[in-house]
Structure 1
Amino acid sequence: MKRKFLFLLLAVFGAVAFCSCEEEVDERESDELLRLQAYMSIHYPDARPTESGLYVIIVQEGTGATPSNSDFLLFEYTGQNLDDYVFETTNKATAKLYDIYSPQIHYSAKYIQYNLSVPTIIKGLEEGFSHLKEGGVAKLIMPSKLAYGNTRHQGLLPYTSVIFDIKLNKVVAKPEEYEQQLIEEYISENYPDLVIEDALVDGIYILESTLSDGFEIELPDSIGHEDVVKLYYTGTFFDDWVFDTNVIKIAKENDIYDSNRDYTPISVTVDTSDTDGSSTHIKGFSLALKNLQTSTDAKIIIPSEFAYGKNGSSVINPYTPLIFDLKILTKTSLEDEGESVE
């Protein structure tokens, strides 16, 4: 009897605790919505929310396409709460102004796929883009249920309404064609005397290739199948932002130095990258090296097909062509490498 009473008591206590938690959540959400409504009545008294609760304030009408499912969107944004606390931005000057600047962040337009079946952005932005056309500028004001909900984000507390100032730069229906356009524009602007077709070899664009200097070097030698090549590299985007390097001086100059990293030449085995799953180097390195020589400095463009592809990485947008400055040192054969290990 006592055991039954204890179980009953625990069940009642649990139900009360569960109800009190629900009431607390409901209270926080209702407080948030009251504050959001007060903010809107002062700043945008004529604005009306969509069915979901999103406020869309069009600042500038766009003249281009409206985003469709699976399009890629290139856009700039600044996010803040109702108290003007800026927590995120794609603009370097804005980041510095609000004291959130970090040299490790690449401040540039975001490029994402607008995927309604597998969302890649918060609900408020997803819905907001459906009200914009290419070239449009808008202010999207949303409750936390359309943003970060009951979680913390970049200094924001749970149940925080947010404001995004958005500029939709471009709607891209065919990302491969857009990437090719970017490559050709870059070459035309920076290498006007270079014939694009002549620069393209095995899918890689070789912009420069010169004999290395500054230290004792061996005579240049061609690079072939299963050669193991040692090299230094620096990877940049088309705006010259350095995203990766194994050159310690360049890493320090660009505020990406990592004391836990070994800044020594990497070894790339030609024709084995990304084929057996053992290589950590992108396929573009192997393709480029077959058309270069040892003891040379080279500048190349690797299209995304041979780099990080349609998914990108944590610091690289999808369908992003990359520039690499290479200092190609020496080579050995894969067979020689095996013998040295033994």
Structure 2
Amino acid sequence: MKKLLFIATLILFVSCSKDNADIDYRTQNDEEIQAYLAANNLQAQKTTSGLYYIIDEQGTGAQATFTDRVKVAYKGYLTNGTIFDESQTGLSFPILQNLIPGWAEGISLFKEGGKGKLLIPSHLAYGGKKNGKIPGGSVIIFDIELIYVNYVTENDAQIQSYLSDKNLVAEKSSTGLYYIIDEAGTGAQPTKTDNVTVAYKGTFLNGTVFDQSNTNGISFNLNEVIEGWTEGITYFKEGGSGTLIVPAHLGYGNLDYFTIPGGSVLLFDVNLIKVN
């Protein structure tokens, strides 16, 4: 079983098992971290795992959990100041728990928009073996900014930019779904458990079509489709048409789904033909 941390274009692996080198470095690493903090006049918190962290800004958005996707800007360096990697604009990591334990734990201490520092002993990073530019048994330090948790904030900014560029006005629901009603329709209005027949075309924000029906539409139960459809179709009556702009958390989430990349905003032109 392996854990990995994607850093720039590298894939770095760390074993879940512990060897003697890991155990031997714990006391040494802890002393090294405390010496670094004292030398740089820093105050840090220490967790039960041995991770040290400093929260400069807590952040005000969502707080990351181990199963979340995160986007983080960071600089990674050793206690002697040697930088081994950095990303000023930030990189996305699909699942937080798949990163090295020091990151998985440390990032979960911040909320979206938060900034701070993680001081990670080797048993929570790459152990006693050399890993790229990182010597075996090294304490590694990261200055981090948690830019996004999942795609909620990022998708919302993408959608608003799209609407502005296209000079469109949309309604936004409490869930984060955007919708435009071109024709409200005059027939029956479905509930979230109804079976409906809908003609549609699904595109990404760049206009690329990923799926579409014919003009006769397809029939399905509204409680068996993505949340953006379950909610969005109920805003129309029979004969109604318009557009649903579905953020990833109401669509297919953080991970790739067939031809739909993880985190994608989906746009659907829909025509509610019938409530069955």
TM-score (norm 2): 0.53
Residue in 1 that maps onto 2:203: 204
Matches within 5 A, 1:278-289: 287=211
Relative to structure 1, the CA distance from residue 205 to residue 84 in structure 2 (aligned partners, 3 Å threshold; closer, same or farther) is: same
SS of alignment partner, residue 77 of structure 1: strand
2:112 matched to 1:134?
A: yes
Give the drift of 1:163: 0.8
Q: 2:131, 2:202 → 1: CA distance?
A: 41
Q: 1:54, 1:188 → 2: CA distance?
A: 43
Residue in 2 that maps onto 1:214: none
The superposition leaves residues 262-295 of structure 1 with CA deviations (integer Å, 9 ceiling, x where unpaired) of xxxxxxxxxxxxxxxxxxxxxx76637x99xxxx
Q: 1:125, 1:285 → 2: CA distance?
A: 37
Residue in 1 that maps onto 2:255: 311
Residue in 1 that maps onto 2:188: none
Conservation of the 8 A alpha-carbon contact between 2:155 and 2:248: no
Residue in 1 that maps onto 2:103: 125
Counterpart code for 1:191: K
Q: 2:160, 2:265 → 1: CA distance?
A: 12
Give the drift of 1:123: 1.2
Q: 1:72, 1:153 → 2: CA distance?
A: 24
Relative to structure 1, the CA distance from residue 65 to residue 183 in structure 2 (aligned partners, 3 Å threshold; closer, same or farther) is: closer
Counterpart code for 2:95: Q
Structure 2 gaps of 5+ residues are: 1-18, 171-178, 182-198, 216-244, 267-276
Residue in 2 that maps onto 1:61: 58
The superposition leaves residues 233-264 of structure 1 with CA deviations (integer Å, 9 ceiling, x where unpaired) of xxxxxxxxxxxxxxxxxxxxxxxxxxxxxxxx
Counterpart code for 2:120: M
Residue in 2 that maps onto 1:165: 143
2:76 to 75, 79, 83: 79
Q: Matched residue pairs, number?
A: 193
Give the drift of 1:182: 4.6
Q: 1:25, 1:79 → 2: CA distance?
A: 20
The superposition leaves residues 53-83 of structure 1 with CA deviations (integer Å, 9 ceiling, x where unpaired) of 1111111232333334544433322211112
Counterpart code for 1:310: N
Give the drift of 1:202: 1.6
SS of alignment partner, residue 64 of structure 1: coil
SS of alignment partner, residue 162 of structure 2: helix
Residue in 2 that maps onto 1:143: 121
Relative to structure 1, the CA distance from residue 190 to residue 38 in structure 2 (aligned partners, 3 Å threshold; closer, same or farther) is: same
Q: 1:26, 1:54 → 2: CA distance?
A: 15
TM-score (norm 1): 0.44
The superposition leaves residues 186-235 of structure 1 with CA deviations (integer Å, 9 ceiling, x where unpaired) of 3223322698859x952115867xxxxxxxxxxxxxxxxxxxxxxxxxxx
Which structure has the greater CA radius of gyration? 1
Counterpart code for 2:111: K
Counterpart code for 1:112: P
Relative to structure 1, the CA distance from residue 50 to residue 287 in structure 2 (aligned partners, 3 Å threshold; closer, same or farther) is: closer
Q: 1:171, 1:309 → 2: CA distance?
A: 12
Relative to structure 1, the CA distance from residue 165 to residue 318 in structure 2 (aligned partners, 3 Å threshold; closer, same or farther) is: farther
Flag the structure with higher strand content. 2
Counterpart code for 2:71: L
Residue in 1 that maps onto 2:5: none
SS of alignment partner, residue 90 of structure 1: strand
Give the drift of 1:35: 2.7
Residue in 2 that maps onto 1:113: 95
Conservation of the 8 A alpha-carbon contact between 2:162 and 2:205: no
Conservation of the 8 A alpha-carbon contact between 1:144 and 1:160: yes
Instruction: Give the share of equivalent positions with the same residue, in percent.
Output: 26
Give the drift of 1:156: 0.8
Conservation of the 8 A alpha-carbon contact between 1:90 and 1:110: no
Give the drift of 1:45: 5.6
Conservation of the 8 A alpha-carbon contact between 1:179 and 1:319: no
Flag the structure with higher helix content. 1
Relative to structure 1, the CA distance from residue 28 to residue 140 in structure 2 (aligned partners, 3 Å threshold; closer, same or farther) is: closer
Residue in 2 that maps onto 1:274: none
Conservation of the 8 A alpha-carbon contact between 1:62 and 1:137: yes
